[in-house]
Structure 1
Amino acid sequence: MALSHEDFARVELGFLPTPIDELPRLSAALGVDVRMKRDDYTGFGGGGNKVRKLEYLLAEARAAGAEVLITTGGHQSNHARMVAAAARRFGLEAVLVLRGNAPQQREGNLLLDELFGATIEYLDPQAYFEQVEPCMQAHAERAREQGKVPFIIPLGGATPLGALGYVRAVAELAEQYARMQWSPPDIVLAPAGSGGTLAGLIVGARLYWPQTKVIGVSVSRDAAWFQSRIAAMASDCAELLEQPLRFAAEEIQVEDGYVGPGYGLPSDDGVEAIHRLAKDEGILLDPVYTGKAMSALIDLCAKGRIAQGQQVLFVHCGGSPALYPFSERLLEGRRQ
């Protein structure tokens, strides 16, 4: 008999279930019925999608007797910020290894990391990919030398166990849609930064909404990298659940034409999407993840790749603290 996401240990961090908003003005403009899952409202530690993953990963860490949580991410990493908050929630230390040189000012998520009292090490962005794993292992060894138990959480909490957070999210969505007497969406669209959210959405959709297509929008790497990574993670997540589901890379749809100048850097279309949603719907997106994903949704509709009349659910993964370090870029050419 297959397992449920409820069969796995989980700590309660999020303010769940999060609401679903209808977006009437955007829908009318695009000719598509757009709704938004408001996982920017998960609440804990500033909110965002990582809360759902950390509920499972923190349960694993606590079971292992962890005293020091170690993780990594970009300068404005939502994941790192929430690991720092979760560590404090359970009386643990947090070590964050971040991609980017030490800034002169702490803004956005970096400010929150400091407020949570995390130890932060900055890595040169060009050397990051070679140095990050040895650096996290060095921090783990240092903790062991001090008689403490370290626990490394991978980038974005992107593990098969962490992905259960978004299997659970689809179960939550299915209940909400049924209660509202809505038919399942044709498409679920979400940003993809490390792949864990998308892996969970794909497994969850197969279990609860088998006719729904899941589309990821890359904010960092090319589609092929994500397809291979997410297919493996989704397959391993299904295996945890003892479900006979396996996924091939070619089954995973990831759009990689919306990254812009690079991960963590605003794109022109992403900035336009941020302004559009703020003015049309009173919703804040961010320049690292959701702004780029929304620009993809708008463009896919304009090109007819999302057909007129289809129902789309956009997963808002949070990240609004990352707006503030980019104030000059966001207001460029717009001041009166």
Structure 2
Amino acid sequence: MIPRYPPHISLARLPTPLQPLDRISEKYSLPGGGPRIWVKRDDLTESGMSGNKLRKLEFVTGAAREQGCDTLITCGGEQSNHCRTTALVGARLGMHVQLILRGDAPAVADGNLLLDRLAGAATAFYPPRQFFAELPALFEHWKAFYAGRGHKALCIPTGASDGLGIWGYIAGAEELLQDCRERGFEPEHVVCATGSGGTQAGLTLGAQLLQANTRVTGYAVCDNEAYFQNKVREDIAHWSALNGQQVDTGALDVHVNADYIGPGYAVADEPVYRAIAEAASLEGLLLDPVYTGKAFYGLLQELRAGRYRDCGNLVFVHTGGQFGIFPQREKFAHLEG
């Protein structure tokens, strides 16, 4: 049973649709069977603020309001979906937003960074080595900076993935399972991209609390299997501590597939771009090359290999990120024909 939800601010348009992908299912089914593939359209949580991060930020901003904060500070890469969502949420709620970004400031803003700036977020860029080595200190620097100007800031970790943010996908798991039951099934498998671990943690914990016979698998887009095994358990342990709920994290059923990361975070090989084009042409489904495109490509390869042959229904959680297509537009230019 899910305990009482903490205060939160309604930002997303919920519930998001659950749709079958029957042409993809037919193409990738094997002799002897295979699952019917569904997609949970969390890319439709809102328009500009779309994606999985908005569910998490409902609870994060609820906590910020409870604590009297007027400023949000968070971090990510130049094309971070989470930073873009935080920037737009801050604008919607009348809050200051400071983004700590990894990399060099480009000459021309594109994709998510363009939206960050349109939303009025302040941006500070740091070389990757400094970003990773000094991130806690950078958060403290900017928190003190705003305090010195009379503002109170809430610091939000990468992807809003911690014991507070995962409430968004505990609620998301409850919604998804209800959607499926209304369609007459309980999914054997739920699949998502995992990049900071919070969405997978929330779905995993939500399925356990609801006693669903559903296996959640995160397809990693960076790091490795051991990292995400630990990160999911850490987030759930943090949730447990915050809410006084006992969870045996060692007994959690945490599944990670790290076979399709490719060259590295935000870098994809040509087959991923082809999978993105295929999803668009067969189903009108837009994926991105950083998160959902990699995860969906990995899922298709596993289906082709017979990994889910005995499964009746599988749900792919579309976590958004379509704005990340545009800065990589040249990767699609040669796919015609």
Instruction: Report the TM-score, using the length of structure 1 for normalisation.
Output: 0.94
2:261 paired with 1:259:
yes
After TM superposition, the structure 1 stretch with the greater mean CA deviation from structure 2, 64-73 or 119-128, is: 119-128
| Residue identity matched to 1:334 | L
Residue 150 (structure 2) aligned to one of 147, 150, 153: 147
Q: Distance in 2 between matches of 1:261 and 1:113?
A: 27
Shift of 1:335: 4.5
- Secondary structure, in 3 states, of the residue corresponding to 1:190? strand
Q: 1 CA distance for matches of 2:249 and 2:2?
A: 18
Alignment match of 1:312 (pick from 299, 311, 314): 314
The match for 2:174 is 171
Question: What per-residue deviation string (whole Å, max 9, x for no partner) do you get for residues 246-290 of structure 1?
Answer: 222883211112111211223333212101101110110001100
Partner of 1:104: 107
**1:228 aligns to what?**
230
User: Which amino acid counterpart does residue 292 of structure 1 have in structure 2?
Assistant: K
By how many angstroms is 1:207 displaced?
A: 2.2
1:58 is displaced (CA, Å) by 0.2
Quote the residue 2:138 is aligned against. 135
Match for 1:21 among 19, 22, 42?
A: 19
1:37 is matched with 40
- Whether contact under 8 Å (1:239, 1:245) holds in the other structure is no
- Higher mean alpha-carbon deviation, 54-63 vs 126-135, is at 126-135
Q: CA deviation at 1:302?
A: 1.8
Instruction: Select which of 247, 250, 265 maps to 1:248.
Output: 250
- C-alpha root-mean-square deviation of aligned residues, in Å? 1.7
Judged with a 3 Å threshold, the aligned counterparts in structure 2 of structure 1 residues 267 and 62 are, in CA distance, closer, same or farther, namely farther
Tell me if structure 2 keeps the 8 A contact 1:238–1:245.
yes
Residue aligning to 2:32:
none
1:334 is aligned to 335
Hey, what does 2:218 align to over in structure 1?
Answer: 216
Per the normalisation by structure 2, the TM-score is 0.94
Q: After TM superposition, give the deviation of residue 208 of structure 1 in Å.
A: 2.4
Partner of 1:90: 93
Partner of 1:78: 81
Kept in 2: contact 1:198–1:230 (CA 8 A): yes
Match among 9, 12, 33 for residue 10 of structure 2:
12
SS of the aligned residue for 2:165 comes to helix
User: CA shift at 1:245, angstroms?
Assistant: 2.8
| Aligned residues of 2:189 and 2:214 also touching (Cα < 8 A) | yes
Structure 1 alignment gaps of length 5 or more = none
Using the TM superposition, give the Cα deviation of residue 243 of structure 1 relative to its aligned residue in structure 2, in angstroms.
Answer: 4.5
Query: Of residues 114, 122, 125 in structure 1, which corresponds to 2:128?
Result: 125
Give the corresponding residue for 1:290: 292
